[in-house]
Chains A and B, each alone.
Chain A
Amino acid sequence: MARNRIDPEDFHRPLRRVLVAVLVLLMLGLFFLWRIDSPRVERFRSALVDRFVPSFSWAMAPVTWAAGVVDDYQSYSRLYEQNQQLREELRQMKAWKEAALQLEQKNARLLDLNHVRLDPMLTHVTGVVLADSGSPFRQSVLLNVGARDGIRDGWATMDGIGLVGRISGVGQQTSRVILLTDSNSRVPVTVQPSGQRSIMSGDNSDLPPLDFLEDLDEVRPGDRVVTSGDGGMFPAGLLVGSVVLGTDKRLRVSLAADYQRLEFLRVLRSHDLTPITDAGALIAQPPLQGPPKPPTTPEPASEPEGGTNG
């Protein structure tokens, strides 16, 4: 009896197969669109995250507070050593505070003297970390400042101490920082004091390795690593970290920024560095131009030549 009735399932099955095939093709099409025209899809992704994630922030607050409490509780176990360390640091800080106050006064006097206006290139926008990337394969954080605060793609980001990453993906209210430890991150750096140039490439571990070092003997663990400003990517001279020797005998960088406690990040307004394309006019004469336009009133032809010879 049941066989004589037309089972609605008989219609559903081929229909569902068609639907699944269409969906799979759509998804693969989206993937190839991303591969071919990545900026457009990434803009869409930034806009989606921009709408979606900040609505979570109210719910994240109690959980991050609880995690902070647990973190503090773990630090109670090392209370005595921390106390000693803090006392020592406090003593040093007091000395620095005195020096800083004097320098500040001196600086104010000198600026006043010169009516100097600081370059807007040295200003920054401070943002708060909203969320992680959510995946162990992508090291990035989300900031709560976006296009409406003037953030642009490619700007460097620091915390109070050192370089943290680079802005990649800007929404209206949020922007994403790709950290230096992400496998896509490549930063040109200089190793002080030898002045060797290198590329610090992230490989998903805590300590990004240094690639393309010319002379390995010149570089020793403990050397300071700063950005070199090569390629107009980052402003030069930002502190990145110090060199360490990894367990695999590769030279790596121990980052100065505190990646454990990324809370407030500064996005540096770095305008594009202008590349130098021609020889300086002081050193070499500009190439000879053709004869100048004839003036409306007849003038002696020797006058323009007299100008270049003089």
Chain B
Amino acid sequence: MRGVAGPAMIDAASREVWLHRALFVAIALGLLFWRLLPLPTPMMSDCGESAAWCRFTVWLMRMPGPDLMLCVIFAWMMRRPDYLPVILIAAVVLLEDMILMRPPGLWTAIVLIASEFVRVRVALTRELNFGVEWLLVAGLMLAMLVIYRLAFAMVMVPQAGFGFAMLQVVWSVIFYPLVVFLSRYVLDLHKPAMGEIDAYGRRM
């Protein structure tokens, strides 16, 4: 279906693009919704004495989890950058900034720069095998964290400890292969194959 060009197929191709964009917005809202849920957070005082396993799980649940939004953006950007126009990324991340009580605009700017960095180099990332891609994403996430914290330090806004914030990057890097796997096998989001053409009939 993908290899054939023609007026009817162009409609189908662009419909697929818009379908994936709507899917991205739905995933973003879903992740936001999940984070806003007022679930009971466990506290250390609830564990009895000498309950090391209980204390470990409480500590684990109070630590930050992966930033799945960022993983999704990178995974999709490496494979099909045309599904994520700049304005869509900016709108979604800005909404997240506002709702999650971050200083609005800073993380959005950093995510925009990082995603453009990947988008411009799509010819490179298309050739990478998964291991190198994973390393690249890990390096990017770490650089983003460092710039984010530097910006906080420069304008003298109080922030959480570095180890605490680093945990979020570690979890995101660990969850990145899972996000890629899910995108590939559930959403069928793969790098364009040889000879595949896009909505205008050009080779991708």
Contact B105 A67 (CB under 8 A): no
Q: Are A41 and B157 also in contact (CB < 8 A) when A60-B38, A254-B45, A261-B40 are?
A: no
Interface-side segment among B2-10, B19-27, B106-114, B138-146: B106-114
Quick check: is B62 within 8 A (CB to CB) of the other chain?
yes
A59 CB contacts on chain B under 8 angstroms:
33
Q: Are A28 and B40 also in contact (CB < 8 A) when A48-B99, A133-B101, A260-B46 are?
A: no
A sample of 9 inter-chain contacts (CB < 8 A) reads A27-B94, A28-B106, A31-B104, A33-B105, A49-B98, A49-B99, A63-B39, A132-B35, A134-B35
Within 8 A of A (CB), among B142-159: 151, 155, 157-159
Size range of the chain B interface in the assembly: 35 or more
Quick check: is B103 within 8 A (CB to CB) of the other chain?
yes
With the chains together, A59 CA to B36 CA distance in Å? 11
Within 8 A of B (CB), among A7-31: 7-9, 16-17, 19-20, 23-24, 26-31
Which positions in A face B, CB cutoff 8 Å? 7-9, 16-17, 19-20, 23-24, 26-35, 41, 45, 48-49, 52-53, 56, 59-60, 63-64, 67-68, 71, 129-138, 140-141, 183-184, 204, 206-207, 254, 259-262
Within 8 A of A (CB), among B36-69: 36-46, 62-65
Q: Which partner residue on chain B sits nearest A247 by CB separation?
A: B44
Q: Which partner residue on chain A sits nearest B167 by CB separation?
A: A136
Smallest Cβ distance from B81 to chain A, in angstroms? 10
Partner of B41, one of A140, A254, A260: A260
Q: Are A19 and B86 also in contact (CB < 8 A) when A31-B103, A59-B33, A140-B101 are?
A: yes
Partner of A133, one of B100, B155, B202: B100
Contact A136 B63 (CB under 8 A): yes
B157 CB contacts on chain A under 8 angstroms:
35
Contact B46 A134 (CB under 8 A): no
Smallest Cβ distance from A168 to chain B, in angstroms? 10
Contact A134 B103 (CB under 8 A): no
Task: For the complex of A and B, list the 8 residue pairs with the smallest distance between their C-beta atoms, beginning with the closest.
Answer: A30-B105, A31-B105, A27-B109, A134-B35, A27-B105, A136-B64, A138-B101, A131-B36
Q: Which partner residue on chain B sits nearest A8 by CB separation?
A: B200
Partner of A183, one of B38, B98, B108, B160: B160
Contact B109 A31 (CB under 8 A): yes
Smallest Cβ distance from A286 to chain B, in angstroms? 45
With the chains together, A131 CA to B33 CA distance in Å? 9
With the chains together, A17 CA to B90 CA distance in Å? 14
Contact B99 A27 (CB under 8 A): no
Contact B38 A48 (CB under 8 A): no
Contact A259 B104 (CB under 8 A): no
Contact B86 A28 (CB under 8 A): no
Partner of A27, one of B37, B41, B100, B106: B106
B200 CB contacts on chain A under 8 angstroms:
8
A68 CB contacts on chain B under 8 angstroms:
40
Q: Are A34 and B42 also in contact (CB < 8 A) when A7-B202, A60-B36, A132-B36 are?
A: no
B103 CB contacts on chain A under 8 angstroms:
31, 34-35
A30 CB contacts on chain B under 8 angstroms:
104-105
With the chains together, A20 CA to B116 CA distance in Å? 8
Contact B86 A45 (CB under 8 A): no
Contact B86 A138 (CB under 8 A): no
Smallest Cβ distance from A57 to chain B, in angstroms? 10
With the chains together, A82 CA to B140 CA distance in Å? 50
With the chains together, A48 CA to B63 CA distance in Å? 27
Smallest Cβ distance from B113 to chain A, in angstroms? 6
Q: Are A71 and B45 also in contact (CB < 8 A) when A35-B157, A134-B101 are?
A: no
7 extra interface residue pairs, beta carbon distance < 8 Å, beyond A9-B202, A33-B105, A254-B45: A8-B200, A30-B105, A41-B104, A67-B39, A134-B101, A137-B164, A141-B38
Quick check: is B186 within 8 A (CB to CB) of the other chain?
no
Contact A136 B62 (CB under 8 A): yes
Contact B37 A135 (CB under 8 A): no
With the chains together, A56 CA to B38 CA distance in Å? 12
Q: Are A53 and B99 also in contact (CB < 8 A) when A23-B87, A27-B109, A254-B45 are?
A: yes
Contact B105 A29 (CB under 8 A): yes
Contact A35 B155 (CB under 8 A): yes
With the chains together, A132 CA to B99 CA distance in Å? 10
B36 CB contacts on chain A under 8 angstroms:
53, 56, 60, 131-132, 134
Quick check: is B102 within 8 A (CB to CB) of the other chain?
yes
